[in-house]
Amino acid sequence: MADEDLSHPKTEAPSNAEKPADSWTTGDEEMTGAQASYLKTLCEEAGEEFDPDMTKADASKQIDALQERTGRG
Protein backbone atom coordinates (compact mmCIF):
# COMPACT_ATOMS: atom_id res chain seq x y z
CA MET A 1 0.00 0.00 0.00
CA ALA A 2 1.36 3.43 -0.95
CA ASP A 3 1.90 6.14 1.67
CA GLU A 4 -0.64 8.42 0.01
CA ASP A 5 -3.33 5.81 0.70
CA LEU A 6 -2.80 5.98 4.48
CA SER A 7 -5.00 8.12 6.66
CA HIS A 8 -3.30 10.50 9.09
CA PRO A 9 -5.89 11.13 11.83
CA LYS A 10 -3.59 13.31 13.94
CA THR A 11 -2.96 15.72 11.08
CA GLU A 12 -6.35 15.47 9.38
CA ALA A 13 -8.62 15.62 12.42
CA PRO A 14 -10.29 18.98 13.12
CA SER A 15 -8.49 20.98 15.78
CA ASN A 16 -10.23 21.81 19.06
CA ALA A 17 -8.67 25.26 18.77
CA GLU A 18 -10.96 25.91 15.80
CA LYS A 19 -14.13 25.28 17.83
CA PRO A 20 -15.65 28.46 19.31
CA ALA A 21 -15.04 28.70 23.07
CA ASP A 22 -18.76 29.20 23.72
CA SER A 23 -19.50 25.72 22.36
CA TRP A 24 -16.85 23.83 24.36
CA THR A 25 -18.40 21.10 26.50
CA THR A 26 -15.93 21.93 29.29
CA GLY A 27 -16.04 25.69 28.75
CA ASP A 28 -17.77 26.34 32.06
CA GLU A 29 -15.06 24.58 34.05
CA GLU A 30 -12.30 26.43 35.89
CA MET A 31 -9.54 27.66 33.57
CA THR A 32 -6.45 25.50 33.34
CA GLY A 33 -3.19 26.32 35.05
CA ALA A 34 -1.58 27.08 31.70
CA GLN A 35 -4.40 29.47 30.79
CA ALA A 36 -4.13 31.20 34.17
CA SER A 37 -0.37 31.63 33.87
CA TYR A 38 -0.49 33.01 30.33
CA LEU A 39 -3.51 35.18 31.02
CA LYS A 40 -1.83 36.68 34.08
CA THR A 41 1.21 37.58 31.94
CA LEU A 42 -0.98 39.13 29.24
CA CYS A 43 -2.99 41.09 31.83
CA GLU A 44 0.21 42.52 33.30
CA GLU A 45 1.45 43.55 29.86
CA ALA A 46 -1.89 45.12 28.93
CA GLY A 47 -2.43 46.83 32.30
CA GLU A 48 -5.57 44.76 32.92
CA GLU A 49 -6.72 43.19 36.15
CA PHE A 50 -6.37 39.40 36.28
CA ASP A 51 -9.53 37.50 37.28
CA PRO A 52 -8.53 34.10 38.73
CA ASP A 53 -12.14 32.89 38.72
CA MET A 54 -12.66 32.83 34.94
CA THR A 55 -13.99 29.76 33.18
CA LYS A 56 -12.00 27.98 30.46
CA ALA A 57 -14.13 29.57 27.74
CA ASP A 58 -13.95 33.10 29.20
CA ALA A 59 -10.21 32.78 29.74
CA SER A 60 -9.75 31.69 26.13
CA LYS A 61 -11.72 34.67 24.85
CA GLN A 62 -9.79 37.04 27.13
CA ILE A 63 -6.48 35.56 25.98
CA ASP A 64 -7.47 36.11 22.35
CA ALA A 65 -8.45 39.72 23.04
CA LEU A 66 -5.28 40.49 25.00
CA GLN A 67 -3.05 38.81 22.41
CA GLU A 68 -4.54 41.18 19.88
CA ARG A 69 -3.91 44.20 22.10
CA THR A 70 -0.40 43.23 23.12
CA GLY A 71 0.72 42.02 19.71
CA ARG A 72 1.39 38.51 20.96
CA GLY A 73 -1.29 36.90 18.78
> Model confidence over 4-54: pLDDT tens digits?
555 555 555 555 557 777 777 777 889 999 999 999 999 999 999 999 999
Query: How remote is the C-alpha of 40 from its chain's centroid?
Result: 14
Question: What pLDDT does 9 receive?
Answer: 54
Q: Is 69 exposed, middle or buried (0-12, 13-18, 19+ CB in 10 A)?
A: middle
Pick the more confident residue, 55 or 25. 55
Pick the more confident residue, 25 or 69. 69
* C-alpha to C-alpha distance for 5 and 45, rounded to whole angstroms: 48
Query: Does the structure show a pLDDT above 70 at 2?
Result: no
Query: Does the structure show a pLDDT above 90 at 59?
Result: yes
- Give residues with Cβ within 8 angstroms of 2, minimum separation 6: none
